[in-house]
C-alpha cells in the first residue's frame, strides 16, 4: 500500500525523560493492544496489533545541539505524533523542537496530547501559575510555512491521564489511552485532514 511505503511508524512518542516511566508504559500498552477480530473483519485495513509501529527514543539528548538525523528521519516517517504533556515537557527544548519539526512536515492535525501532570493552557489562565503549563509552546501555537512558530494559537486534541496515573498497573484503561487507540485506529482507516473529536454519549 502507498501509505505503508510512506510511513515507517504509525506514531512517534515525544516526551521529557522525566516522564519516561509513563511514556514507556504507554508505548508497551499500545503495542500490546489486540485489535478485535470483529472490527478487523469489517475493516480489512486494520492489522492484528500495533507492534513495532511506534517510535520512542530512549536516549537522553545532548544539552546543546540540533535534532539528530535519526530523530528527524523518525519524525518524517511517522504518520502521527503523540506528546506526553507535563511541565517537564513544556520546559524541554527537545520536546518543543520535535513538535515544531513534526508540524512543519505534517501539519497541525496529526498531533495528540496526553496530559500526565500540570494544567493545559495555564499560561493564559489566571487561576494557575505559568510554571504549571502542561502544553509545550510548539503545541499551543501554529507552525507557519517557514517552519517557525506563529502568533496564532491552536487547541490540540488531548486525552487526560492525570487522575489515574498513580494506578497504572491496576487500571486496564484510562481516558487518555482510549482516545489514543481510537485515534490510531481511525488514522489507519482514513487520512487525517482535521482534528478527530470523540463524540460524547
Q: Is the dihedral of CA 79, 84, 85, 90 positive or negative?
A: negative
Q: Is the pLDDT of residue 165 over 80?
A: no
Domain ranges of the chain: 2-189
Average pLDDT of the chain to the nearest whole number: 78
Q: Is the pLDDT of residue 190 over 90?
A: no
Name the more confident of 183 and 55. 55
Q: Which of 33-37, 48-52, 156-160 has the highest mean pLDDT?
A: 156-160
Spatial separation of the C-alpha atoms in residues 184 and 80, rounded to whole Å: 8
Prediction pTM value: 0.77
* Residue (of 156, 192, 161) closest to 178 by Cα position: 161
Name the more confident of 92 and 197. 92
The CATH code belonging to domain 2-189 is 3.40.50
Please state the rounded mean pLDDT for residues 167-174: 46
Percentage of the chain modeled with pLDDT above 70:
70
All three cell numbers of 160? 487526560
Q: Is the pLDDT of residue 106 over 90?
A: yes
Q: What is the pLDDT of residues 137-149, one digit of tens each?
A: 999 999 999 999 9
Amino acid at each position: 500500500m502507498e501509505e505503508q511505503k510512506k510511513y515507517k511508524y504509525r506514531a512517534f512518542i515525544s516526551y521529557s525523560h522525566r516522564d519516561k516511566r509513563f511514556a514507556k508504559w504507554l508505548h508497551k500498552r499500545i503495542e500490546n493492544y489486540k485489535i478485535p477480530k470483529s472490527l478487523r473483519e469489517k475493516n480489512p485495513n486494520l492489522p492484528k496489533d500495533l507492534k513495532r509501529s511506534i517510535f520512542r527514543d530512549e536516549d537522553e539528548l545532548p544539552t546543546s545541539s540540533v535534532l539528530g538525523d535519526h530523530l528527524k528521519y523518525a519524525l518524517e516517517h511517522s504518520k502521527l505524533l503523540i506528546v506526553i504533556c507535563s511541565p517537564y515537557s513544556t520546559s524541554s527544548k527537545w520536546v518543543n523542537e520535535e513538535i515544531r519539526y513534526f508540524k512543519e512536515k505534517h501539519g497541525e492535525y496529526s498531533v495528540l496530547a496526553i496530559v500526565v501532570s500540570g494544567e493545559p493552557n495555564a499560561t493564559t489562565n489566571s487561576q494557575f501559575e505559568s510554571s504549571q503549563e502542561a502544553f509545550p509552546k510548539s503545541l499551543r501555537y501554529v507552525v507557519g510555512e517557514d517552519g517557525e512558530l506563529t502568533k496564532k494559537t491552536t487547541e490540540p486534541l488531548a486525552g487526560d491521564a492525570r487522575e489515574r496515573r498513580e494506578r497504572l498497573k491496576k487500571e486496564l484503561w484510562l481516558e487518555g489511552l482510549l482516545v489514543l487507540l481510537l485515534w490510531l485506529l481511525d488514522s489507519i482507516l482514513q487520512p487525517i485532514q482535521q482534528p478527530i473529536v470523540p463524540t460524547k454519549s
